[in-house]
Copies of this chain bind each other. A is one copy, B any other.
Amino acid sequence: MKLRTQNSDPRIPLTSILSPKGRGKGEGLFVPGFKAAGISCGIKKNGNKDLALIYSETAAVAAGVFTKNKVKAAPILLDMERIKKGLCQAVIINSGNANACTGKKGMEDAARMVAAVEDGLGIKKGFAMVSSTGVIGQRLPIDRIEKGIPKLVSSLSSKGWNDAVHAIMTTDAFPKAAFEKCRIGGKEITVLGIAKGAGMICPNLAPASFKQGMATMLAFIATDAAIEQKILQAMLKKAVDNSFNSITVDGDTSTNDTALILANGKAGNEKIGSRVKPAPAGSKQGGEGARIFQEMLERVCLKLAKMIVKDGEGATKLLEFDVSGAKTDKDANKVAETVANSPLVKTAFFGEDANWGRIMAAIGRSGADVKQERINIYFNDVPVVIKGQGARGKGQEIKAAKAVKEKEICIRIELGLGKGAKTVWASDLSYEYVTINAAYRS
């Protein structure tokens, strides 16, 4: 069964996502057995933090999901090799330079970066991984990074997550962190995630909500759960599909996109594994533990993903596109992504215009199997299209006009053909940011 906990989950009120106030301050961010740090080493010209480190006191079980872009940055190529052994003890991340399209020299720089951090930490060779985000096509200032590593290592602290999350930001408007706690088999388990992404790439005028406009997305998750590597990889893949891959188009990623998870087992729970034991009544062991952990991981990823949507400057609304009744899940994906990525649809919501014709047109060109006379569309439960035509009824237009004025709108699209379903999130398309920047340029 496909987990769809992100779907109108009452535990994640959209309002909290839309109001970044107080979020990411770093209070309470803590995972047993992990330390983090973030410093400035001189990559960013403005002196902002640009080098982060995540460190596990013991080698952690690791899983990763990487960009499907065929133009892959050097750190991606290095990490894809290293993740194969399923163990990792440290992740170093720089912002301000993507180390992409940098050829052999870029690969050498990425290798020097992990070697330097392994030396600095005194951990096994091959146990560090690396991510980079920033401008494409320029050599990494590797000397500055190497010089910064002693300070980075000495700054490591169990409360260093706030520094780390700031050091991975590029043009993000706010830091993105989320955590969840729960009990599995009587043991408290923590899942903590930090992320960067979206915002506008300076001097990029494209709204973050365009798939092509998305900046590099990086997410790093730390947990003290004890878990088998294979199941962790499968769980991360599923969580990413239902979160980060549901705010953009599958495969439509930057050269550097990365999601990594490290699980150090410090919680001492019975290891979550592929061999599911029947759980004793009332306990939360075996398969039940796996289910809880998956849900928790998905919640953390979805919180971070929604923050990325929210981070599109000028975004005024959070739009949830909830497609059901497709012939297949694949068809549902096509419809959800086409509608959610349509500038016409997004600008209509910005303009608070209940322009359902644009949604119909987007559904029709999505490539999915659809029958226009079976399509129903609702805005926050207000019917706007019934059987392919404009909904009628007393006060219908007033209700629809009211629905599009909300800050959070669920656009429910029923295709009436099968059981395929998909939910994606997007911001609307306001031009405030663009207007500001157009003026700024001239």
Contacts and interface: CB of A to CB of B under 8 A. Distances in A.
A101 B390 contact: yes
A205 B351 contact: yes
Interface string A409-442: 0000000000000000000011110110111010
A101 B389 contact: yes
Contact of A360 (B255, B365, B389): B255
A101 B377 CA distance: 13
A212 interface: yes
Interface stretch (A122-130, A232-240, A294-302, A367-375): A367-375
Given A69-B364, A351-B441, A438-B435, A137 B357 contact: yes
Given A135-B357, A212-B343, A205 B390 contact: no
A406 interface: no
A358 to B, nearest CB: 7
B136 A361 contact: yes
A360 B101 contact: yes
A213 interface: yes
Contact of A71 (B102, B351, B364): B364
Interface stretch (A44-52, A167-175, A246-254, A321-329): A246-254
Contacts of A358: 136
A363 interface: yes
Interface string A306-344: 000000000000000000000000000000000001111
A351 B203 contact: yes
A364 B212 contact: no
A357 B100 contact: yes
Contacts of A70: 363-365, 369-370, 372
Given A364-B255, A365-B251, A357 B136 contact: yes
A388 B103 contact: yes
A206 B429 contact: yes
Nearest to A438: B431
A341 B212 contact: yes
Contact of A365 (B204, B252, B429): B252
A297 to B, nearest CB: 26
A353 B203 CA distance: 9
Contacts of A362: 212
Nearest to A70: B364
Contact of A254 (B135, B350, B361): B361
Contacts of A136: 357-358, 360-361
B210 A343 contact: yes
A201 interface: yes
Contacts of A347: 204-206
A112 interface: no
Contacts of A254: 361, 365
Given A206-B343, A344-B206, A389-B102, A71 B431 contact: no
Contacts of A390: 101, 137-138
Given A203-B351, A347-B206, A361 B71 contact: yes
Interface in A137-172: 137-138
B71 A370 contact: yes
Interface in A56-87: 68-72
16 contacts: A68-B365, A70-B363, A70-B365, A71-B372, A71-B388, A72-B364, A137-B389, A138-B390, A203-B353, A204-B344, A205-B343, A205-B429, A205-B431, A206-B347, A255-B360, A434-B435
Interface of A: 68-72, 98, 100-103, 135-138, 201, 203-207, 210, 212-213, 251-255, 341-345, 347-348, 350-351, 353, 356-358, 360-365, 367, 369-370, 372-373, 385, 387-390, 429-432, 434-435, 437-439, 441
Nearest 3 A/B pairs, CB to CB? A136-B357, A71-B364, A206-B343
